[in-house]
Amino acid sequence: MLDASSLLKIVRNIAWVGVVVALVAFGLGYWRANQLQSGNSPADVSQLVGGPFELTDSKGRKITEKDFLGRSLLVFFGFTHCPDVCPTTLFEATTWLKALGPDADRLQVLFVSVDPGRDTPELLDTYLQAFDPRIRAATGTKAQIDSMVQAYKATYRFVPTSAGNYTVDHTALMFMLDGKGRFVGTIDYHEKQDIALQKLGNLLKRR
């Protein structure tokens, strides 16, 4: 039978092991977050974001993730009635494409509307005319959108406004995938251009 002193030592050892495990878990989480932000995600993380999807683009054509294999891909979720985040992000994407020069032809920007009730293919087509013509847009049924949003670990929700109208809160990140459809990292809203271009340069180097 253990005496009180021995039992206290065991309890202290168990507590210390718990602290060590917690610190290791915290360190790994911090390292993984940094990897995602730098665009250098490890292989296991690359499988956690993204995946199959089926949508309808602004020309009325059915598209899937397979249509983008072989090119780097930037995915952004939003809606055309967005007052600031969406037009700002797409304008910034336009400047990146211009800055990349010929390398931009190996990069596809895809704007996915989470508001299919208002964002018809025709409206998306008109909306895109304000940005680089290489940017594509698509939407789908609620089930198709929800499936893709969940796969990309993004979020969105409809928020009622005055006069029976609504707006949409949504993830304001651009998701980067390489030519094999593997998640690489993100570009933040209002990311400094030099940092964004560095991330895109690293993305385009991947095989």
CATH assignment of the domain containing 83: 3.40.30.10
pTM of the model: 0.78
Q: Each residue of 89-113: b (16+ CB within 10 Å) or e?
A: bbebbbebbeebeeebeebbbbbbb
CB 175 within 8 A of CB 76: yes
**Do 68 and 14 have their domain in common?**
no
DSSP 71: S
Please give the C-alpha separations between residue 81 and each of 114, 119, 162, 166, 170, in angstroms, as whole numbers: 11, 9, 15, 10, 12
**Do 125 and 31 have their domain in common?**
no
Indicate whether 43 belongs to any domain: no
Q: By residue range, what is the domain housing residue 22?
A: 4-38
Indicate whether 27 belongs to any domain: yes
**Do 72 and 174 have their domain in common?**
yes
**Do 33 and 56 have their domain in common?**
no
Indicate whether 165 belongs to any domain: yes
> How many domains, the chain?
2
pLDDT digits (tens, 9 = 90+) for 37-91: 455 544 456 678 999 999 999 999 999 999 999 999 999 999 999 999 999 999 9
Residue 165 in 3-state DSSP?
A: coil
pLDDT digits (tens, 9 = 90+) for 104-142: 999 999 999 999 999 999 999 999 999 999 999 999 999
